[in-house]
Amino acid sequence: MYAMKLLYPLFTTLALAILGALCQTVPVDAAEIKVSTARLVFTVLREVGSQFERETGHRLRVTEIYGPPFKKALAAGAPFDLDVLVLRPDYIDDFISEGKLVAETRTDLVKTGIGVEVRAGAPKPDVSSVEAFKSTLLNAKSIAYLKNGFDTAYLDSMLERLGIADAVRAKLVQPETDSVSTMTANGEVELGIAITTQILTTPGVELAGGLPPELQRYLVFAGAVSATSTVPEAALALLKFLKGPAAIPVIKAQGMEPG
């Protein structure tokens, strides 16, 4: 009994120390941040999201989305239930004009080019020059790029300028979901044309090369905070984190540049 009396103050002191440490680790204003993002920032957060959580005490709930079906779902009545949205800039600007996103928080996050991919282990075609790229497309048995992607209109017009639109159209597959790299990995198409970061972060495909410099186009993806977010300061902190030193090396390793 006497030993227990001696130990009781020790247990109390230890418990208070643990409680104090927990209070310092998890801020009182720790928040859950709901993030809906295009795949290219989803893969970045997969690498550095845990560091943001450790540094801030906030928790991330990240959902990968693709712009066209996301907008379609909203038009059908789905709620705009998020704190941070990351998509191609025309979508972000549309949502700002509709009052769904806060204009002052709009942040360019990443920039990526367009690449050509093949199934892992397949021979890599030459795409280093305009003529080599044309020849590769003409010789391919099947080609895929998105039906409604940010680069779709550009790729359509590029094929017209190269004079091979009709020849390519006969073997072109255009999925409505963000699945070009998956189709290429599964052997459903011989060549995929997609943003470079998607190629580098999808298992089962390899980058044959970027578009020739004369044809290359760079796409910037942006983020903004929802006008109805209940945790706007935490949401804005995430956007700032994605522009900082922890995220930038991951962005570059995935074939992108900071926006």
132 and 249 co-located in one domain: no
121 and 200 co-located in one domain: yes
Please report whether residue 242 resides in a domain. Answer: yes
107 and 232 co-located in one domain: yes
Please report whether residue 154 resides in a domain. Answer: yes
The structural domain count of the chain equals: 2
Is the pTM of the predicted complex or chain greater than 0.75?
A: yes
Tokens of 42: 């989803």
107 and 224 co-located in one domain: yes
> Which of 210, 228, 247 is where one domain is finished?
210
Please report whether residue 129 resides in a domain. Answer: yes
Taking only the tens of pLDDT, the chain with its 259 residues reads 434 343 334 434 444 343 344 444 444 478 999 999 999 999 999 999 999 999 999 999 999 999 999 999 999 999 999 999 999 999 999 999 999 999 999 999 999 999 999 999 999 999 999 999 999 999 999 999 999 887 899 999 999 999 999 999 999 999 988 899 999 999 999 999 999 999 999 999 999 999 999 999 998 999 999 999 999 999 999 999 999 999 999 999 999 999 8
82 and 205 co-located in one domain: no
Please write the tens of the pLDDT for every residue from 207-216: 999 999 999 9
190 and 202 co-located in one domain: yes
Q: Which residue has the tokens 């972000």?
A: 92
Please report whether residue 126 resides in a domain. Answer: yes
Domain of 245: which CATH number?
3.40.190.10
State residue 23's pLDDT score: 42
Domain span holding position 193: 114-210
236 and 118 co-located in one domain: no
Residue 162 CB burial class (10 angstroms; 0-12, 13-18, ≥19): middle
